[in-house]
C-alpha cells in the first residue's frame, strides 16, 4: 500500500463518488491526506475518540460518545480546512471515509503511513 507521502491527487479520480470499492477509494483517501500536519491531527483525533469510547464503556455516560465524535471529526476537519486546504473526504464518501480513517490509523501505527 502506498504511503500518503507518495500518493498524488493527479492520479485520483475526478469524482470520488464514481469509485466502486474501498480498495479503489483508499489511494484517493491518502491523496486527500498528503499534509503531514493533517495526518497528525487525524491520528490525535482518532486516538482521543478511542479514549472517549473506552470512557463511555467504563461509565455508560453518553456524553463520552459526543466527545468522541467531536474529537475525531474536529481534529480531522481542522487538519483539512487549516492545513490540507481541501474538504474532508467524509463530505464525498462518508462510509468509505470513515473506513479510511481507521485504515490510515492502523497504517500509521504499523509504519505504512508516516506522520
According to the 3-state scheme, what is the secondary structure of the chain? CCCCCCCCHHHCCCCHHHCCCHHHHHHHHHHCCCCHHHHHHHHHHHHHHHHHHHHHHHHCCCHHHHHHHHHHHHHHHHHHHHHHCCCCHHHCCHHHHHHHHHHHHHHHHCCCCCC
* 83 Cβ neighbours under 8 A, 6+ residues apart: 35, 37, 38, 41
- Structure confidence by residue, pLDDT tens digits, 50-71: 999 999 999 999 999 999 999 9
Cβ–Cβ under 8 Å, residues 43 and 105: yes
User: Where in the chain are the domains?
Assistant: 35-109
What was the pLDDT predicted at 7? 39
- Structure confidence by residue, pLDDT tens digits, 5-57: 433 344 555 677 789 999 999 999 999 999 999 999 999 999 999 999 999 99
Helices 63-78 and 36-59, packing angle to 10 deg: 180
What was the pLDDT predicted at 11? 53
What was the pLDDT predicted at 92? 83
Higher pLDDT, 72 or 8: 72
Residue 110 predicted with pLDDT over 90 = yes
* 74 Cβ neighbours under 8 A, 6+ residues apart: 45
Amino acid at each position: 500500500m502506498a504511503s500518503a507521502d507518495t500518493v498524488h491527487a493527479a492520479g485520483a479520480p475526478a469524482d470520488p463518488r464514481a469509485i466502486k470499492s474501498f480498495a479503489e477509494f483508499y489511494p484517493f483517501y491518502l491523496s486527500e491526506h498528503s499534509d503531514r500536519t493533517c495526518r497528525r491531527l487525524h491520528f490525535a483525533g482518532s486516538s482521543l475518540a478511542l479514549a472517549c469510547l473506552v470512557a463511555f464503556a467504563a461509565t455508560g455516560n453518553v456524553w463520552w460518545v459526543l466527545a468522541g465524535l467531536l474529537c475525531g471529526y474536529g481534529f480531522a476537519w481542522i487538519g483539512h480546512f487549516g492545513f490540507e486546504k481541501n474538504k474532508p473526504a467524509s463530505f464525498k464518501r462518508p462510509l468509505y471515509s470513515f473506513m479510511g480513517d481507521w485504515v490510515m490509523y492502523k497504517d500509521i501505527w504499523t509504519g505504512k503511513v508516516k506522520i
